[in-house]
Chain A
Amino acid sequence: AAGVIQSPRHLIKEKRETATLKCYPIPRHDTVYWYQQGPGQDPQFLISFYEKMQSDKGSIPDRFSAQQFSDYHSELNMSSLELGDSALYFCASSFVLGELTGELFFGEGSRLTVL
């Protein structure tokens, strides 16, 4: 079965540079979520989109922005990168319409290293 696809899987950037992560949800899923997981930490919710509109916002820094496109894929843009942004970034998708307790399906993550 198709899963959540994230790209790139690994990314190395310098401080103050910009990075973009992409997420392709499971077909027919209408909601995308972004999470950040630092070394030895638990996943932290950043932001979610339902039907291309921002739905919920967590601890996303102002330097980060995200959007969901017409084909439901999502991109997380990170600017003025800091060393502390080095983390695993997970995208998850779900089918929410009519199912308030729908499970989230997570991708394998994109590992960002800021030097």
Chain B
Amino acid sequence: DAKTTQPNSMESNEEEPVHLPCNHSTISGTDYIHWYRQLPSQGPEYVIHGLTSNVNNRMASLAIAEDRKSSTLILHRATLRDAAVYYCILRDVVTGGGADGLTFGKGTHLIIQP
């Protein structure tokens, strides 16, 4: 699987936007970019995914660079409940497929200050 690189930790203030970066310079054309997060003492939770175009859902937005070598997860208005570890994961739909396991790397610890 292609690797991703994320900062170890980031800090933000409550009610402000948060931009979480992810580098994936070896991404292949069939890799989808997935984001999951893990709140303290809970199982991971799906946030968003995309292939080439920017994506929006009720939780967040995903901005994908034109060359797809990096992406940014955007939380528009962070709350204390958004404090979690955020994982950027590449998922190959050709060699991988839906039933293959996701590989969690070192995510970003997001700290939200009140």
Chain A residues within 8 Å of B, Cβ to Cβ: 4, 31, 33, 35, 42-50, 55-56, 58, 90, 92, 94, 96, 99-109
Q: Which residues of A contact B103 (CB under 8 A)?
A: 45, 58
Nearest residue (CB) in B for A56 is B100
Main secondary structure of the interface of A (DSSP, over half): strand
B68 within 8 A of A: no
Known: A42-B87, A100-B93. A108 touches B42 (CB 8 A): yes
Interface residue SS majority, chain B: loop
CA distance A92 to B45 in the complex (A): 10
Q: How many residues of B contact A (CB 8 A)?
A: 25
Does B29 interact with chain A (Cβ within 8 Å)?
Answer: no
**Residues in B whose Cβ lies below 8 Å from that of A108:** 42-43
Q: Which residues of B contact A102 (CB under 8 A)?
A: 98
Closest A-chain residue to B85, C-beta based?
A: A42
